Amino acid sequence: MGDIMENAFKMIGDLVKGLTGILIGVIALGVVAGIVFGESWFFGEVLGNLLAVVQTLGDNGIVGLLVAAILINLLR
């Protein structure tokens, strides 16, 4: 029974890791498309949204820095 649960958790973890990798790739593609083509109908305003997130983290001082560190650690 323990092996089945361990395999299920490993499979779910691998799925989440794979989806996160795909989403990071899509965000990177959106940033590059935003730089090259400007705001596009497909990617929307990716650069503006990322800048808003960074500004929000910066406005929150040490809490924002802590959240940024946690996010960077999770995305490793």
- What's the pLDDT score for residue 10? 93
Tokens of 20: 């996160």
- What's the pLDDT score for residue 51? 82
Distances (CA, A) of 60 to 47, 48, 55, 65, 72: 20, 18, 9, 8, 17
- Parent domain of 32: 2-74
User: Is residue 57 exposed (0-12), middle (13-18) or buried (19+ Cβ within 10 Å)?
Assistant: middle
Whole-model pTM over 0.75: no
Q: Number of structural domains, the chain?
A: 1
Question: Cα(43)–Cα(23) distance, rounded to whole angstroms?
Answer: 13
- What's the pLDDT score for residue 31? 82
Tokens of 50: 């990322």
pLDDT tens digits, residue range 34-74? 878 877 666 677 778 888 888 888 888 888 888 888 877 77
